[in-house]
Amino acid sequence: MRRCIKDILSATEKTFECGDGLEAIRLFEVHQPDWVLMDIEMQPLDGLSAARQIRARWPKARIVFVTSHDDPRFREAASQLQAGFVVKDHLELINQIIGKPQSLKW
């Protein structure tokens, strides 16, 4: 999934990958990226909890959840965090959300 997302993003964009919410917080602190694309379901710290911590420390952080869970509860949680929400079946929407031209044809 990460490879698909990287392919969608511009080849000139620098990306950082992590496997869990704790690492996402650490990487955000170090690199202060323009965008955070994060799954909801991760261990030991899930994406929603990590996003809350990122948002609390860096209120202007721009976060998009990329998930296979198309659930109204998760959409509402993303909305409460002022975060984007993309279902993995529609990865092409990432570029619309972050304002980049689409680099892959679906």
Q: What is the pLDDT of residues 37-86, one digit of tens each?
A: 999 999 999 999 999 999 999 999 999 999 998 999 999 999 999 999 99
Q: Looking at residue 86, what DSSP letter applies? A: E
Class of domain 2-98: alpha beta
pTM: 0.82
Q: What one-character-per-residue DSSP string does 49-70 give?
A: HHHHHHHHH-TT--EEEEES--
Q: In the chain, what are the domain boundaries?
A: 2-98
How confident is the model at residue 97, as a pLDDT?
85
State the Cα–Cα distance between residues 105 and 51, nearest whole angstrom.
30
Name the residue among 33, 41, 40 with its Cα closest to residue 16: 33
Name 105's Cβ contacts closer than 8 Å, sequence gap at least 6: none
